[in-house]
Chain A
Amino acid sequence: MQASAYRDSSPAKTYISIGQIKSLGAALDLPETGGGCGTQGGEGKASCGTSAGPDDMPQEIWDKVKNHPCYSEEAHHHYARMHVAVAPACNIQCNYCNRKYDCSNESRPGVVSQKLTPEQAVKKVVAVASEIPQMTVLGIAGPGDALASPKKTFDTFRMLQEQAPDIKLCLSTNGLALPDMVNEICKYNIDHVTITINMVDPAVGEKIYPWIFWNHKRVTGYEAAKILHERQMLGLEMLTARGVLTKINSVLIPGINDEHLIEVNREVKKRGAFLHNIMPLISEAEHGTVFGLTGQRGPSAAVQDACMGGANLMRHCRQCRADAVGLLGEDRSEEFTLDKLEQMEVVYDLDKRKTYQDKVEVERQAQHTAKQEALAASSAIKVGDDLQVLVAVATKGGGRVNEHFGHVTEFQVFQVSSTEALFVGHRRVDQYCQGGVGDDEQLPSVVRAINDCHAVLVAKIGACPKDDLIAAGIEPVDQYVGEFIEKAALDWFNDYRARIASGAIEHQHRGDAQIRQGAYTNLTSGIALAA
C-alpha cells in the first residue's frame, strides 16, 4: 500500500532530460535522441525553448510529454488526466499509507471511493474522454500498487488501447514487482511510469517501510528495505534501457529522508529518470497512518523549497486521489460514478477530441507569446534587477487569471523576477466564499497559505477580504482579469518595481507559509465541479 500513495500527478519546469543525463548513465543503453528542441521549428512545440518546455529536450521526448499534465507544467493548465482504481492490492506497507480511509471529501494519494473492474474502468474512461475532450492521459495509480494486480491493470490497458487509441497510458508503482513487468509495460505502449522511491539507503528505508511481501514471505526491517531498493533501481534501469519515460516520486518526510533526498535525486538521475517529484508528506492523526498516529508531520513550504534547492524537480504535482478525474487540482469523479455511468450513452468521438485539442494548442501558443512580450517589457526596467518575489494566482484553468478570490480552493504560486515568471507550486485553501457570503473565519487560513506571497492576482475580490489582505501585507490585484498568468504576474511585478523606484513603497520580506495538501474540504458541492 505504498506506492499507491504519492504516485500521481506531476511536474513542472523541472525536467531532467535524458540527454542531460547521458554522460552519467553511460553504462546504460539509453534511447537514441533527436535534435534539441530549441533547434527545430515546427508546430506543436508551443513552449520549446522556454522555461515551460526545456530547450534541451529531444523532439520525440517532448512529443511524449507535451500534452501530459503530470509531466509538463505547461500542459497541466490545459490537459486533464484521470485515474481508474482497478488495482486495490499492494505488496508492501508504507508508514504514510492507510488505504482503509475512504472519504470523498479527501484528496490524497491512495484514497479512492469506488473500486472498479477493468470493464467498468474502460467504460468510465471512454465516458469521461467523450465528455471532457482535454482528457488525454489515463493512469492506473492504485489505490494499491498497479503492478501488484497485474492482470487487472493490463486488462484495462489492453481494452483501452482498442477502444480509445489516442489516450496515453501510464502507471505508478512502488517498484517491487517492476523488473518482472517491464516486458508487459512495453507491450501496451505505456510510455510513462512513475516509481515511488523514498530512499536509496535501506537504513533510511526501514523507517518508512515496515514490511514487504516478497517470495511468499513477509519480510521486515532492513532486509525488506534492501530488497525494495534493489528492485527499484533494477526496474528503473530496465525502463530507461527500453526508452520508457520514468518519473520518480519521493515523499519528503522531515527528519527521516529530507536530507537523504539529495542522494536519491543523484541516484535516480544516474539511472536515467526523466523527472523527480518531491512531494510533502500528508499526515494527520485522522488518516490513521503510522506517521499520522505517531505525530510525524509534513514539511512547511520553506522546508520543501530547501530540499528542492538546485535539483531539477517538478512543482505542479497535486498528489491527487487514485481515482481523480479532471485537470490537476480539480476532481470531477463525482460526475462519473458507476450509477451515473450506467445511464450514459457514450459515443467516442475522435474528431471532436482532436478539434478541441487543436484549439488548446492555439491558446497555448498565445500564452507563450504573451509571456515573451511581458519578459521583453520587464528587461527594459532597470530597477531592482535582483528582486524576486512570490505571487499567488486565482485561476480555474487555461493559464489565465480568471477566478474570484472567494471561490478559490487552490492558489497557484509563481516566483517572479525581472527575467522569469516561474510556476513553483499550489496552495490549497478552504473556500472563502460560501453561497455568496464571505466567511471571515476562513480568511486567516487563506492568508497563512499564501503568507509568503507579495501579491494575489484575482479576477474579483470583495472589499472586506481586500482590506484584510492589505493589512496582512499581501497586495490584492484585480486589474489583470482574464490575462495569461505569466504576463499578468510580470506586468504586476514591473509595476511593483516601478513603485519601489519612485519611493511610493518599500520592498518588505515575507514570512513562510503553511502547505495544506490534501485539504479539499469544500469539493463535494457543485461549486467546484462547475468551475
Chain B
Amino acid sequence: MPMKIIASTCTACSACEPECPNVAIREKNGTYVIDVKKCTDCEGHFDEPQCVAVCPVDGCIIKV
C-alpha cells in the first residue's frame, strides 16, 4: 500500500522529499507527489514511513 500526499493540504515545505529512501517524492505544480510505483512505505528501510513522520500537516499523507 503506497502513500499519497493530499495536495489540498500540502504546504509544499519540501521536508518529505529528501527523507524518502526510494526517491519517490518530487515537486509537481507547486505541491509534492509520491510515485506509487516507487513507494514501499519505507519497509525494509525504516520503522515508519518517513514522509508521514516529518510532515508538519496531520493527515496530509495517507495510505491509499
Q: Is the CB of B57 within 8 A of A213?
A: no
13 contacts between A and B (CB under 8 A): A1-B13, A1-B56, A88-B11, A88-B15, A89-B13, A89-B14, A89-B54, A91-B54, A93-B56, A216-B19, A216-B46, A218-B48, A218-B53
Q: Is B24 an interface residue (CB 8 A)?
A: no
CB distance from B46 to the nearest CB of A (A): 5
CB distance from B22 to the nearest CB of A (A): 14
CB distance from A221 to the nearest CB of B (A): 15
List of A residues within 8 angstroms of B46 by Cβ: 216-217
Contact A90:B11 (CB < 8 A) given known A216-B46, A216-B53, A218-B53: no
* Distance between Cα atoms of A91 and B55 in the complex (Å): 9
A136-160, CB under 8 A of B: which get 1 and which 0? 0000000110001100000000000
The chain B residue with its CB closest to the CB of A214 is B53
Q: Is A499 an interface residue (CB 8 A)?
A: no
* Distance between Cα atoms of A100 and B15 in the complex (Å): 13
The 4 closest A-B pairs by CB, nearest first: A89-B15, A218-B53, A88-B13, A213-B54
Main DSSP-derived SS at the A contact region: loop
Q: Is A99 an interface residue (CB 8 A)?
A: yes
CB distance from A180 to the nearest CB of B (A): 14
Q: Is B50 an interface residue (CB 8 A)?
A: yes
Q: Is A260 an interface residue (CB 8 A)?
A: no
Q: Is the CB of B50 within 8 A of A216?
A: yes
- Beyond A88-B13, A143-B13, 13 extra complex contacts between A and B, CB < 8 Å: A88-B11, A88-B14, A89-B18, A90-B15, A100-B11, A144-B15, A148-B15, A213-B19, A213-B53, A216-B19, A217-B46, A217-B47, A218-B53
Main DSSP-derived SS at the B contact region: loop
In the complex, chain B residues 48-64 whose Cβ is within 8 Å of any chain A Cβ: 48, 50, 53-54, 56-57
Q: Give chain B's interface residues, CB within 8 Å of chain A.
A: 11-15, 18-19, 46-48, 50, 53-54, 56-57
CB distance from B24 to the nearest CB of A (A): 16
Q: Is the CB of A115 within 8 A of B54?
A: no
Looking at A88, A90, A213, A216, which has the most chain B CB atoms within 10 Å of its CB? A216
Looking at B18, B47, B53, B54, which has the most chain A CB atoms within 10 Å of its CB? B54
The chain B residue with its CB closest to the CB of A148 is B15
* Distance between Cα atoms of A100 and B56 in the complex (Å): 9
List of B residues within 8 angstroms of A89 by Cβ: 13-15, 18, 54
Contact A90:B13 (CB < 8 A) given known A216-B46, A217-B47: yes
CB distance from A88 to the nearest CB of B (A): 4
Looking at B11, B12, B47, B53, which has the most chain A CB atoms within 10 Å of its CB? B11
List of A residues within 8 angstroms of B15 by Cβ: 88-91, 144, 148, 213
List of A residues within 8 angstroms of B12 by Cβ: 88, 115
Contact A144:B13 (CB < 8 A) given known A90-B56, A93-B56, A213-B54: yes
- Contact partner of B56 among A99, A115, A216, CB < 8 A? A99
List of B residues within 8 angstroms of A213 by Cβ: 15, 19, 53-54
* Distance between Cα atoms of A144 and B47 in the complex (Å): 25
List of A residues within 8 angstroms of B11 by Cβ: 88, 99-100
List of A residues within 8 angstroms of B56 by Cβ: 1, 90, 93, 99
Looking at B13, B14, B15, which has the most chain A CB atoms within 10 Å of its CB? B13
Contact A149:B54 (CB < 8 A) given known A216-B46, A217-B47: no
List of A residues within 8 angstroms of B53 by Cβ: 213, 216-218
List of B residues within 8 angstroms of A218 by Cβ: 48, 53-54
In the complex, chain A residues 171-225 whose Cβ is within 8 Å of any chain B Cβ: 213, 216-218
List of A residues within 8 angstroms of B48 by Cβ: 217-218
List of A residues within 8 angstroms of B18 by Cβ: 89
Q: Is the CB of B50 within 8 A of A149?
A: no
CB distance from A400 to the nearest CB of B (A): 41
CB distance from B27 to the nearest CB of A (A): 11
List of A residues within 8 angstroms of B50 by Cβ: 216
The chain B residue with its CB closest to the CB of A213 is B54
* Distance between Cα atoms of A100 and B57 in the complex (Å): 9
The chain A residue with its CB closest to the CB of B10 is A100
List of B residues within 8 angstroms of A99 by Cβ: 11, 13, 56
The chain B residue with its CB closest to the CB of A150 is B18
List of B residues within 8 angstroms of A144 by Cβ: 13, 15
The chain A residue with its CB closest to the CB of B46 is A216
A320-346, CB under 8 A of B: which get 1 and which 0? 000000000000000000000000000
In the complex, chain A residues 104-152 whose Cβ is within 8 Å of any chain B Cβ: 115, 143-144, 148-149
CB distance from A140 to the nearest CB of B (A): 14
* Distance between Cα atoms of A244 and B12 in the complex (Å): 32
The chain B residue with its CB closest to the CB of A152 is B14
* Distance between Cα atoms of A93 and B57 in the complex (Å): 10
CB distance from B58 to the nearest CB of A (A): 10
* Distance between Cα atoms of A163 and B4 in the complex (Å): 41
* Distance between Cα atoms of A90 and B57 in the complex (Å): 12
